[in-house]
């Protein structure tokens, strides 16, 4: 059966964050050829519920619907200074105990902190609230400069738009890299962004002199098995190493080597999905990652399941699609 997602609604609902969750999990996607998520919108309190923008929201389910969810999404919270009702906190605690994945967007992390579900875990929230989260909940390992972080089945994300990055991470984990890329394409957003302060800085458009970096990126993608260094890539782009690194980071938000690893992981994931008889060691070699151990390491860093499980999930989806 496809994963079942419960999306929380509450009085004072953050409409953008709520809309992101609905777009990802409630919209039918027959073009993907797999059974997509099922969903339920659940009211955190008796209605009618008001939403930002002067809207009223009628919600068909109550907190009892959280008990059947594989994943729960909390799309923000109305006031970081307000403790949620005990009934909501207890429902989330039960869900966590039975192994449900619980995810928050922006200020929604405060709900999980009040429930005690972030104690001893890495978590994040909007940059405006990071200090408050750390001050009010000292047992939480608050992460700065990230778009989202997953720790033990709990996934928290930074500001509102970072919620989309987190939700695509969930799709990658459940359905694989290729399908997540197609969902991102339909949303007209990048399939993956890396969290960094560079995300908060407006980047200038590339000048004509930077076309060498674009050509380099295309060439590297066609030669990922080749060993690359910063110096060799700089030479290919016909730039000095320091100038190359600075322009590459301005262009992509990533260092050249971080981008290279991401491209190799993407290729490896594609081969795992499309070439089921190719040994994992061979996949690692063809993608330029060297060994199965290195492949597992980089999959883990990218938030993906181990390669063997990633491939098994792809086969299961293929059977469901058939």
Residue 204 has pLDDT above 50, yes or no: no
Residue 242 token pair? 């320091």
Residue 110 has pLDDT above 50, yes or no: yes
Q: Is 231 exposed, middle or buried (0-12, 13-18, 19+ CB in 10 A)?
A: exposed
Residue 183 has pLDDT above 70, yes or no: yes
Boundaries of every domain in the chain: 4-187, 202-322
| Least-confidence region, from 51-65, 185-199, 216-230 | 185-199
Query: Could you give the residue ranges of the DSSP H alpha helices within 138-240?
Result: 162-175, 177-187, 211-222, 230-236
For the question of whether the overall pTM of this predicted structure is more than 0.75, the answer is: no
What's the confidence (pLDDT) of residue 305?
81
In which band, very low, low, confident or very high, does the pLDDT at 257 lie, cut at 50, 70 and 90? very high
- Is the model more confident about 198 or about 86? 86
Q: Is 196 exposed, middle or buried (0-12, 13-18, 19+ CB in 10 A)?
A: middle
Residues with Cβ within 8 Å of 219's Cβ and at least 6 positions away in sequence, in order, are 236
Output phi, psi for 247, to 5 deg. -70, -35
Strands 4-9 and 71-75: parallel
82 by DSSP, 3-state: which?
coil
In which band, very low, low, confident or very high, does the pLDDT at 208 lie, cut at 50, 70 and 90? very low
Q: What average pLDDT score do residues 70-95 get?
A: 96
- Is the model more confident about 38 or about 200? 38
What is the pLDDT of the chain when averaged over all its residues? 87
Strands 38-43 and 4-9: parallel
Closest CA to 236 of 251, 256, 252: 256
The angle formed by the CA atoms of residues 251, 256 and 261, to the nearest 5 degrees, is 120
- Is the model more confident about 277 or about 205? 277
In which band, very low, low, confident or very high, does the pLDDT at 300 lie, cut at 50, 70 and 90? confident
Residue 105 has pLDDT above 90, yes or no: yes
What's the confidence (pLDDT) of residue 233?
93
Tokens 């994931």 map to which residue?
269
Q: What average pLDDT score do residues 268-283 get?
A: 88
What's the confidence (pLDDT) of residue 115?
97
Tokens 């059977």 map to which residue?
319
CATH level 2 (architecture), domain 4-187: 3-Layer(aba) Sandwich (3.40)
Closest CA to 106 of 145, 81, 72, 80: 80
Q: What percent of the chain has pLDDT over 90?
A: 56
Q: CA dist 187 to 13, 301, 302, Å?
A: 22, 25, 21
In which band, very low, low, confident or very high, does the pLDDT at 109 lie, cut at 50, 70 and 90? very high
Residues with Cβ within 8 Å of 30's Cβ and at least 6 positions away in sequence, in order, are none
Q: Are 102 and 96 in contact (CB under 8 A)?
A: yes
CATH level 2 (architecture), domain 202-322: Orthogonal Bundle (1.10)
Q: What percent of the chain has pLDDT over 70?
A: 91
Q: What are the DSSP calls for 217-277, one per residue?
A: HHHHHHTTTS---HHHHHHHTTS-HHHHHHHHHHHHSS-HHHHHHHHHHHHHHHHHHH-TT
Please give the DSSP secondary-structure letter assigned to residue 297. Answer: H
């Amino acid at each position: 059966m496809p994963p079942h997602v419960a999306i929380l609604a509450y009085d004072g609902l953050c409409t953008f964050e709520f809309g992101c969750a609905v777009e990802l999990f409630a919209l039918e996607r027959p073009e993907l050829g797999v059974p997509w998520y099922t969903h339920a919108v659940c009211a955190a309190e008796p209605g009618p519920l008001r939403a930002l923008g002067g809207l009223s929201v009628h919600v068909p389910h109550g907190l009892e619907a959280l008990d059947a969810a594989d994943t729960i999404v909390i799309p923000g919270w109305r006031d970081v200074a307000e403790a949620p009702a005990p009934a909501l906190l207890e429902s989330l605690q039960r869900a966590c105990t039975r192994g449900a994945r619980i995810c928050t967007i922006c200020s929604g992390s405060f709900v999980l902190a009040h429930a005690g579900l972030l104690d001893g875990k890495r978590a994040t929230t909007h940059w405006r609230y990071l200090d408050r989260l750390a001050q009010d909940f000292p047992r939480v390992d608050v992460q700065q400069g990230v778009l989202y972080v997953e720790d033990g089945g709990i996934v928290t994300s930074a500001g509102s738009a970072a919620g989309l990055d987190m939700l695509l991470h969930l799709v990658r984990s459940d359905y694989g890299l290729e399908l997540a890329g197609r969902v991102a394409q339909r949303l007209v957003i990048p399939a993956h962004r890396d969290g960094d302060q560079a995300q908060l800085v407006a980047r200038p458009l590339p000048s004509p002199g930077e076309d060498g970096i674009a050509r380099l990126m295309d060439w590297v993608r066609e030669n990922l098995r080749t060993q690359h260094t910063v110096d060799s890539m700089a030479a290919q782009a016909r730039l000095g190493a320091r100038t190359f690194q600075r322009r590459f980071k301005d262009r992509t938000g990533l260092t050249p080597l971080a981008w290279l690893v991401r491209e190799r992981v993407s290729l490896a994931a594609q081969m795992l999905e499309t070439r089921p008889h190719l040994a994992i060691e061979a996949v690692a070699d063809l993608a330029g990652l060297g060994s199965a151990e290195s492949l597992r390491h980089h999959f883990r860093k990218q938030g993906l399941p181990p390669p063997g499980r990633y491939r098994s999930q792809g086969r299961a989806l293929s059977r469901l699609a058939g």
